[in-house]
Amino acid sequence: MKALIINCSPVRNGATAETVKIISEELSQRYDVSSICIDDYSFSFCKGCRSCHKTAECVQKDDFSLMINEFEAADIIVCVSPSYWADVPGQFKAFIDRCTPWCNTHEPHASLSKGKKGYAAVLRTGPSMHECERLIQTIEHFYGHMEIECCGHIGLCMVENKNDVLLRKEEIISFCSSI
């Protein structure tokens, strides 16, 4: 089975990237793991043209198709996101918006192969788990419309940098045992 771990932050070497690294290392003991960073891809914002509601395809041609292919190849998907103003980073939100052709709220729609399992790992600098819950809801809402089964999540508060992630490593490893 293949696991895809996504750094939803455009920062390739921060706390989110460190969390991706821990999860990837832990899951690589059981799965074929691929990890990507949202910033590895260049794609435009959704134009809101709704052409995909008729064709199940986006009119734009860019790296989005490469990223959705990563989703298709995976059996397990773990989105790892920091909080940017109490939600996922704009780059990841732009990806979610571009997934409209795969959204199950209109026909026709494209679809990923069935049976995918999704997990969320979110982190924030402040103390309130409420903000983590908001990010988890965003990711799980996205999974639902993509028909990816929501299977688990973890929220980490008071994470400012890589060192804070390392202090939470056992908690992250414990989360990974449920994947």
Assigned token pair, 155: 């929220």
What is the residue type of 72? E
How buried is residue 113: exposed, middle or buried, by Cβ count under 10 Å (0-12/13-18/19+)?
exposed
List of domains in the chain: 2-176 (3.40.50.360)
pLDDT of the chain along its 179 residues, tens only? 999 999 999 999 999 999 999 999 999 999 999 999 999 999 999 999 999 999 999 999 999 999 999 999 999 999 999 999 999 999 999 999 999 999 998 899 999 999 999 999 999 999 999 999 999 999 999 999 999 999 999 999 999 999 999 999 999 999 999 99
Assigned token pair, 58: 């986006």
Cα separation of the two ends of the chain: 12
Q: Using alpha carbons, select from 42, 35, 23 the residue that is nearest to residue 74.
A: 35
pTM of the model: 0.96
78-114 pLDDT per residue, tens: 999 999 999 999 999 999 999 999 999 889 999 999 9
